Structure 1
């Protein structure tokens, strides 16, 4: 063990060994650095007092050649062109007693020129004289790399400024960071700065097709680049050109995305030429409509789309009635003029998602996509017949033609273009054989549906003219089973067709434009009845009437209902309009405006069939609704199924929280009524209390006191 007396001696020994080690380490470090450490005098030759062994690799001279009064002076080693500049910078540092760093050239023993960086500081030596101590390192490669970079940048700048194609850098969001003159000229700007300052939000300001910038970004994010990305764009003056973009992602050393960088070319001329070729190959030369080649492609696309979406496609074969007579009597020029006119009318009769093509002569074909119901196809066919039949001025005369239409439906009548065209052609001849200027479906079943629809439409027009529609009233009760209101429901009994349900005649009325006169008939009767029943009542009954979504969103509906109320002498406060959630899925601004106008008139507003559609809670917040009606489907089973009970309970609680009146439809047994009443539901409808009644039957209920006992009580 160490004694206390021996510890100081050990510490002294360790310190001495530490000093020796430091000297050795310092000497090793100085003589092995990649460069030359030195001390020199402040004289005209920069006489070296000490240089490290790195001088040999740096200059080609050993240390003994550079050190001493008679040695090769550092001034001589320094390139003559740099001597004055170097001396000036070092002497200025000495006067200020500060560090310096200076770059210059030296000449090596072999005659080569090297660039060096000298860093030093003036310090007093052991005698107190000012000397310079520092370090000189070779930066020849670094200088060469910097020069290469500067040259490359200059060359890139020259290319950037004088390239014939547009070059850009943008953020992913679509803000320009850089643009060259060619791009500015391409887009109609005086220069890059003007383009960068003005052109932002590229998806809205540059690309003609909405979402094109988003497609560009998706490709960049997926592949890191885009190639030959062609788009139609707006120039500054509003004109359009087609461009092709090639671009890639630029990332930093850390992998972070910096920008998109790429080039733009104007390909408008090529696109125009391609369009001409496409038109010649796929378009009818007279009308510009798709010819047989393109039409077949459109049919196949429509079939694939219908199969994917699970909807119907209608192929309509059209043959003009009486065209041959016009063509023969007035000449081919008049016939061609008529064909062009009919082509324009057909285009105007269909949606942008549909196709009209010409097979030749006076034969046209319609491809009608995305139909969910046969009724919408029939409405289109009727419109087409009406448009074709309008008079046309030809050769100084006003003439009229008709058309025979044959219809084949995918998938019932065929699953390929050939079979659908064949069957539509067969149906077209059937239309001609049945008197022309009509349409026929290929299958007997579809013909039956079409005939029924046409029969109902014709009968409905007569019934409206004769005021044959009736109104039945279903009581609305409070929790004490007292009648507090009634819902007006349209009913139609035809002497030949029998009892026709609303779900059959109302869609037809909407499609063929009869919904307004039908609704007017119903409202007139209902308003008059409500006025009679409410005369002298302390607490007026509120009349609930349904409005078709299509009718509700018509811009003059508020004035129309207001006029009917005035005619009947019924206060608006005694009427509640019921609408389904469909009205919320279209033009929000229009719907909100109509709701507010009805509220200003004094009417109450109710959402019917709540829970069967989208049922967004935002509707209950944004629209000024007074009442929500729980659909019958949410009432059936609440007394037996916990899940249904939970849903009904949640809807009632929601209505209470929003301070809405909650009405339950379809209450059919006492258990349902008791459950809903206990949960706080405000009003009730259903067969438990009464079916919809004719006006006389409902009046008897009121005369009996207006309190209805549940059936079986």
Structure 2
């Protein structure tokens, strides 16, 4: 490319070819141009000039027209034919005017007559070089412009967004091809059409305000989420985010100094909005039945309570539970169970009014909010309608399924004034129906609360066992004289998710009534045996394990087999297990119980009577049964005050046990006074808070080690 120095003279890289048949002319021109920093090459005639032009690049050609081999006209013809980008200056002495005119028409830049004036020739060459530079710069700029235009056109037409320009009336003056992919229009179809006319009718007012605001030239970039109407009615509604920038058209000024156009993009956000709507729906609806879920039900109940309190009217909350659903679900499968829930929800929706809220509360439970009722009889009518609807058989996958429902009703304000109270009391009333025959409804009354709390705790115990909420703590059993840890008693605890850590007194009676005590006893024995086996393998220390079992567990036919199988599974030696039973179990002198205890004893298991002296029984069983240990209840221990009368019973029990050659374990030892007295009686094993509260096995073991080290140090 041609370049110039700081003074405007061409730089040395400008190449000039001289073509003439006169050697003296060639040398004269070469000398003159070389002095002015041009690179000069010569050709002795037209033929040689063409050969050099074909092989090499030149910027300027100084050409004589009259040459014997190939004249200048022929050289220019070949150059034009081959589109050689060389500026030609004709330098001739005897050319005719017609010849000169022909050369100029053929593309010659200028003409100089021989003999030439050096200054004139240099000026002509410099001008030619400048022209050449401008032409090349123009070509470069044009190439860049073309490339930029192609790039921008490519970007615009392949943009995933609709790109458009609006005139000052809000009509399309340009659109890219993406509008066809997203809305079905060709760009030409929308030219001159208002953007408002492409918006859905319910969005046009919002769009009109948006465009009015956007026309202000000093406003920032604006955006709007709006629905645009596809060309074909069958296509679904499409949502777009419009972004627009006002711009001034200076090339077409109006009376106020300029015309304002709007450049903008429209991004399809339909999938995003559908996803957001689905997430929102999922957060507040049950996906199986499409009904409101627990969260949405509570939200609407909260609003209804505020309105009912303000306006002084009643409302009703119903808790609806399907009868026999679990049996159907287990026998016919979850697919049929899900379809049944969907069919039930459809029938329930046909029983409620517009404005009522029906929700799937969880599992096979539904709740219904009647936000305004005259009295409870109005709610009862709805309940009757629901019962009749659910009683009708369901036909699913070739099965005719019969299912009933139990409904509890809680009225505001008589059954509660808070959201949680109404839901809880409707649930209580529903369980009253369950317990009295099912397939009916019941209004909540205050006298239901106590019985229902026990029922609720029973249900929570079921869930707690399934969720592994029960765990075992241990209380140390210590040698009275040596302070050595001999064994531990396993005590069950319940880590209730709402009530915290519960002790057995708070749930054992319910477990026995509901027969859950069997699973609880098995769980406790298995967990304790496993943990003591791990302890034995870790420390090499054999601790005795005492576990209390309930009369319900002992009365089962598989009691002995269950205990021994658990020991085998957990690799726990039977000789280290002590089963504790209460003396009330032996009250009726039952032969089956006697046989089971003998079987366990024969297997190596020790039998202990727990809380000895607190029950009603004959002492004769002590001779009939394989009893190894008597445990003195803490109620006797706490009366020990050195040697007062309260200690007499303990003294008598110890003497009897020693006479029968049984081991004594004294519970509830909390003070040194009690310990010293028991030692004086010859008691060998004690347990109680004096040696720490019940805790994890590692904690009990570490406490025992600390006591042992302390005793050794004091002995030194």
Per the normalisation by structure 1, the TM-score is: 0.38
Instruction: Give the number of the structure whose alpha-carbon radius of gyration is greater.
Output: 2
